[in-house]
Amino acid sequence: MPVSTLRVIVLEDHSFQRAIAVSMLQQMGCTQVFQAADGAQALAVLNEVGPVDIALCDLRMDGMDGLEFLQAVGHSGQVGSVIISSSLSADLRRTVRQIISLLNLELLGDIGKPLHYETLERLLKKHCSAPRIATPPEPPEIFPDEAQVREALATHELCGFFQPKFILETGEITGVEVLARWRHASGKVLSPACFLPVLERYGLLDELLNQQLHQGLALQQQLRTLGHDLNFAFNLHAGQLSSGTLASQIRSLLSEYGARGSSLTFELTESGLLQAPETSLECLYRLRMMGCRLSIDDFGSGFSSLQRLLQLPFNEIKLDAGFVQALTQEPRCHAVVSSTLALGEALGMAVVVEGIETDEQRQHLLNMGCSQGQGYWYARPMSSGDLLRWLEGGQQRSLRA
């Protein structure tokens, strides 16, 4: 898509700054630039001229402000992407960015004030270069019922995908996280959001875990014969810890596949651990006694209790991906990551940072003292066959000098 075909609306209550923004866009080649002094005026313009590709939006305005405008156009299709240009503090802009994602709007950038020509131009080029027409429309989302999920378990359509964890400095792979996916009969690969709620509702999480453990341990055994000794991490729901047989079942599987307890990690989200009952604590204790690693997943996304962190026998923290995305833009996110790294070191817990998507993020985390990470920059989740080919083909990144 050429820049000249973009339709852009500028929301800015300061007439001089609005004029500068319009002039910049026109210099970049935009021929359809509309403007408004507040949200109500912008809605009137859109009703007259039709949908726009981009809204360059201030947030603090008299009358209908920028957030009210975005809430009004969210889910309407009148605005494709949003560029925030505001002098509000970073923490307030971060809240607005979260709201934008909930409104089914694409956030193209958050560039603050004053506007810089090069930054704005880069965002326009980013928008134009993104593939939008070639991809066919997505078929309707699939929402399975209990019978369909039970059938998928019985036919092993629910399978594990594997995403590597790596050393930031060297690129060496240290392990993989096993993620549930559904190879649906329609040809689609469904994410856990489609089927995990059904599994949880009908008490089928243990059956899924059992299948994942068998698949994962068999693959791990195969990788060992090829010289790849990798830790495999499985996700556990806090409710599964109350089972009095979970630890013994895992012990039996380790024996069956000739694996060590230290070759497994179990990840639990922090939100389910705050009120862990006695039976759950015993299960965690027995898993650690077998040598298994325990990881608090999505750390920082819930309401964690430092007291509980001390009480529970975890030895790894996985920091939520949301903090990495704004690491270089927001001092608060930087402070959270830095504090978590220090906390992990003080408690003798490893810290794995999720959601690393760029080399800039990797380098920044490395400079902060982070050693382990996970994210699309290194590798996306892949099937067992793809993981084998990826490892044997030497496709993993090597960062050694």
Q: Which of 172, 354, 360, 392 is catalytic?
A: 354
Beta strands in 119-185 (DSSP E): 158-167, 173-183
Structure tokens at 230: 């990798």
Tell the burial category of 193 from Cβ atoms under 10 Å away from its Cβ (0-12, 13-18, 19+): exposed
Selection from 18, 10, 113 nearest residue 52 by Cα: 10
Measure the CA–CA gap between 72 and 152, rounded to whole angstroms: 41
Residue with tokens 């790849």: 228
Question: What's 301's DSSP letter?
Answer: S
* Contact yes or no for 367/350 (Cβ under 8 A): no
Measure the CA–CA gap between 362 and 374, rounded to whole angstroms: 10
**Strand order across the beta sheet in which 32-36 lies:** 32-36, 7-11, 52-57, 79-84, 106-110
Complete DSSP assignment for 189-223: EE-HHHHHHHHHHTT-HHHHHHHHHHHHHHHHHHH
Q: Phi and psi (nearest 5°) for 343? A: -65, -45
How many Å from the N-terminal Cα to the C-terminal Cα in the chain?
40
Measure the CA–CA gap between 207 and 213, rounded to whole angstroms: 10
Measure the CA–CA gap between 217 and 27, rounded to whole angstroms: 59
Annotated active-site residue 270? The verdict is no
Residue with tokens 């594997």: 162
C-beta atoms surrounding 382 within 10 Å: 17
Beta strands in 27-168 (DSSP E): 32-36, 52-57, 79-84, 106-110, 158-167
* Contact yes or no for 128/110 (Cβ under 8 A): no
Q: Which residues have a catalytic role annotated?
A: 354
